[in-house]
Structure 1
Amino acid sequence: MAKIHPLSILPSSCSSSSSDYMTLESEVFTIWMKSLVFNGNGCTVYDSNGQIVYRIDNYNHKCGNEVYLMDLRGKVLLTIRRKKHRIFGCWEGYKCNGSNEEKPWFKVRKPWRILKGDSPCEVSLGWDKDQPISYRIEGLDGRSACKIVDQNGGLVAEVKQKHSTSGVVLGDDVLSLVVEPNIDHSLIMGLMVVHGLINQCM
């Protein structure tokens, strides 16, 4: 039986920066769209060494209004909340760093229903008016596949269906995530979760 996690091709843990969630080289993850909890909804994320690094367990509730990104041991790293608006949906991500931080780390706005087809989701990162940072989440073929680009159109991360080393396409629930260097992996995971919630994949 083929392993679902990627081979250790690119350096990862040996080239970490000051953040535990950022590396100086491209990082490859495998996303298995299955929860570690029996009959639960969510996903499990493996690093390039086959170790579980992130997990989302929504138990029996799918597409909840509050979702938690956790590490292997269940420590909450990020809380994602859905804010309901009349015309479009909005999701906010909050870092769980031990303080009662009220300002969200990021905000994702869903396109209007009329433009839902190929319209990207807009991402606002932080609230510094002098140095605004924004991304776009663009859907690809399939509900789970997407890519995240910066405000200049540069690729930041991409999620697509995973292939084995022999070229065999794995199941629809096994995805490959490539994150570019010097990008916070936990942020990318948060945006990937929002994309999955929008498309009712978790």
Structure 2
Amino acid sequence: MTTTREIFTIWMKSLICNSNGCTVYDSSGQIIYRIDNYESKCSDEVFLMDLRGRVLFTIIRKKLGVFGHWEGYKSNGSKQEQEKPWFRVRKPCRILKGNSPCKVTVAWDKNHTDYYRIEGFAGKSACKIVDHAGRLVAEVKQKHSTSGVVLGNDVLSLVVEPNTDHSLITGLVVVYGLINHSL
């Protein structure tokens, strides 16, 4: 978390050969997060790790008919923390196509819960994450080079507003990619 707006680059490729995932770089080109899905594309379990491969949290898909959801569990070694999800993302009903927002609940602790929405378009990587009051928290869009050239569909720019947890936002972007079958 920082007090200034930050821009990250997301490359929708895993650093591990024959694996699915993505890599997140900071504005100076350093890897800060990697997401690996060792099984198949759109797996039911994905890991958000730091550069050294330490799992920061695990994202698990929960299937409940047409109303499935994703849960993110912090991986700090405490079994008690792993039993309770840190965040939950409910995807829109499959019947409602288009740009229905995903609903996000983040439980920081027993007394502090935040609510967000992921607004995007089905099948697209671009999205916005807004808080319960409608304020922009983060935005993902296709990356452009400094000369204005649009990079490939697998290179995205993530702009995160100040005072926002980067790992949480990265986790939400990963869930959005899983929902849209791009990760």
TM bucket, shorter chain? over 0.9
What are the residue-to-residue correspondences of 1:36-185 with 2, within 5 Å?
36-100=15-79, 101=81, 102-126=83-107, 131-140=112-121, 143-185=124-166
How many Å separate the matches in 2 of 1:35 and 1:125? 27
Unaligned runs of 5+ in 2: none
CA displacement at 1:150 relative to structure 2: 0.4
* 1:75-129 C-alpha deviation (Å, 9 max, x unpaired): 0001001111012110000111110121100100011111131100000111767
How many Å separate the matches in 2 of 1:188 and 1:99? 22
- Distance change in 2, residues 1:163/1:142 (3 Å): farther
Please name the residue that 1:5 is paired with.
none
AA aligned to 1:33 is: M
Runs of 4+ in 1 over 4 A off after TM superposition: 127-131
Please name the residue that 2:13 is paired with.
34
Matched residue of 2:174: which SS? Answer: helix
- Distance change in 2, residues 1:58/1:141 (3 Å): closer
How many Å separate the matches in 1 of 2:98 and 2:30? 36
CA displacement at 1:40 relative to structure 2: 1.5
Higher strand content, 1 or 2 = 2
Matched residue of 1:113: which SS? Answer: coil
AA aligned to 1:26 is: R
Which shows bigger deviation, 56-65 or 73-82?
56-65
* 1:137-168 C-alpha deviation (Å, 9 max, x unpaired): 00158611111000011000000000011100
Contact 1:160 1:175 in 2 (8 A): yes
How many Å separate the matches in 2 of 1:108 and 1:182? 21
Percent of aligned positions that are identical: 73
How many Å separate the matches in 2 of 1:165 and 1:70? 28
How many Å separate the matches in 2 of 1:179 and 1:64? 26
Contact 1:94 1:103 in 2 (8 A): yes
CA displacement at 1:59 relative to structure 2: 3.2
Return the index of the structure with the highest Cα Rg: 1
CA displacement at 1:39 relative to structure 2: 2.1
What is the TM-score normalised by the length of structure 1? 0.85
How many Å separate the matches in 2 of 1:127 and 1:162? 31
How many Å separate the matches in 2 of 1:93 and 1:56? 13
Contact 1:39 1:60 in 2 (8 A): no
AA aligned to 2:164 is: I
How many Å separate the matches in 1 of 2:2 and 2:30? 16
What is the TM-score normalised by the length of structure 2? 0.94
CA displacement at 1:133 relative to structure 2: 1.3
